[in-house]
């Protein structure tokens, strides 16, 4: 569907190209992404169905966050790959942008909360139930969501203030803040500065605090008397750290590529941008779920129908 080349403060719609230069391969590219999408829905749905104990509340919240994150991008992306459904309305694009950034920021806060949860469980096990009661976990969750809304709502305001003068094609599979801002026929310096500020002072601070938590955990684990206990703690925490790295590294690569990575091929940037929203929802149930004996037992009970 062609978009009229008219001057408009806000266009009626944008065109999402998918992966430019690889249009003839969209069908094949969609196969692994569709498979990962189904795995993410099944894995996180299974976690929510099987876990109801207070000690697994953060994992359930993480799974719920992943179940919200995946549908923000994958259905539209697959529609582009399969049916060439490139048009998206201006307000639909802003809505998608809002949910992508808000849910991603919320998940970053939940990962920080889970790192604190591991710190308390390993370093202060006798005080776990008093420090992380269901009421405290609820307050932490509300704080994560409130922080995300506070930092993401300005993205909507910053985009609304920009004029768009005829160039409405987004060379991407979904709408994100800088991808939209670059189409504006106005100075977007404030968009760039605010976007970097959010990335560095919200998720950057989360990474630092997560690092401190696992540093204290490492110190405690090294002083455990049993080598079996050390190995178990290292195995569990090591897998958690790997998931955290998979969450943050592609995200920061995408953020900084938008601003400084003009040497990065657009196809590479788009693939990484897709993976930073899709890989964590796929890996989280595998690492946090299957790596825990109690969760494996509950899943087998659900599948086999045993009491």
- Rounded to 5 degrees, what are φ and ψ at 303? -70, -45
Residue ranges for the chain with pLDDT beneath 70: 1-8, 229, 261, 289-295, 299, 302-307
- Work out whether strand 169-170 and strand 13-16 pair parallel, antiparallel, or are unpaired: parallel
CA distance 78 to 267: 17
Give residue limits of the domains in the chain. 13-297
pLDDT at 35: 96
Three-state SS letters, the chain: CCCCCCCECCCCEEEECCCCCCHHHHHHHHHHHHHHHHHHHHHHHHHHHHCCCHHHHHHHHHHHHHHHHHHHHHHHHHHHHHHCCCEEEHHHHHHHHHHHHHHHHHHHHHHHHHHHHHHHHHHCHHHHHHHCCHHHHHHHHHHHHHHHHHHHHHHHHHHHCCCECCCCEECCCCCCHHHHHCCCCCCCHHHHHHHHHHHHHHHHHHHHHHHHHHHHHHHHHHCCCCHHHHHHHHHHHHHHHHHHHHHHHHHHHHHHHHHHCCCCCHHHHHHHHHHHHHHHHHHHHHHHHHCCHHHHHHHHHHHHCCC
pLDDT at 8: 54
Q: Which residues of 286-299 are buried (b: 16+ CB within 10 A; e: fewer)?
A: ebbbeebeebeebb
Residue with tokens 């940037």: 269
Q: Which two tokens stand for residue 111?
A: 């990962």
Whole-prediction pTM: 0.89
User: What fold is seen in the domain 13-297?
Assistant: Rhopdopsin 7-helix transmembrane proteins (1.20.1070)
Sheet holding 13-16, edge to edge: 87-89, 13-16, 169-170
| CA-closest candidate to residue 3, choices 84, 87, 79 | 87
pLDDT at 302: 65
């Amino acid at each position: 569907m062609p978009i009229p080349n008219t001057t408009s403060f806000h266009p009626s719609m944008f065109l999402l190209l998918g992966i430019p230069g690889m249009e003839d391969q969209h069908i094949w590219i969609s196969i692994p992404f569709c498979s990962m999408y189904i795995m993410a829905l099944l894995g996180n749905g299974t976690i929510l169905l099987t876990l109801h104990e207070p000690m697994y509340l953060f994992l359930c919240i993480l799974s719920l966050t992943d179940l919200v994150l995946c549908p923000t991008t994958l259905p539209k992306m697959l529609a582009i790959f399969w049916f060439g459904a490139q048009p998206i309305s201006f307000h639909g694009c802003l809505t998608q942008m809002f949910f992508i950034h808000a849910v991603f920021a919320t998940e970053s806060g939940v990962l920080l909360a889970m790192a604190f949860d591991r710190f308390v469980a390993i370093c202060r096990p006798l005080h776990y139930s008093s420090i992380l009661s269901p009421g405290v976990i609820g307050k932490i969750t509300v704080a994560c969501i409130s922080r995300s809304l506070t930092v993401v709502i300005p993205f909507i305001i910053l985009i609304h203030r920009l004029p768009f003068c005829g160039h409405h094609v987004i060379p991407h599979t979904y709408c994100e803040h800088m991808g939209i801002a670059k189409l504006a026929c106005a100075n977007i310096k404030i968009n760039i500065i605010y976007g970097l500020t959010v990335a560095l002072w919200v998720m950057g601070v989360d990474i630092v605090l997560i690092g401190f938590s696992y540093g204290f955990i490492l110190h405690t684990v090294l002083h455990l008397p049993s080598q079996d206990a050390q190995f178990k703690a290292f195995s569990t925490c090591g897998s958690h750290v790997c998931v955290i790295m998979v969450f943050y590294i592609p995200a920061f690569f995408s953020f900084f590529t938008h601003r400084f990575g003009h040497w990065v091929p657009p196809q590479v940037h788009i693939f990484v941008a897709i993976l930073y929203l899709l890989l964590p929802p796929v890996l989280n149930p595998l690492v946090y779920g299957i790596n825990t004996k109690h969760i494996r037992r509950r899943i087998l009970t659900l599948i086999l129908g045993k009491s």
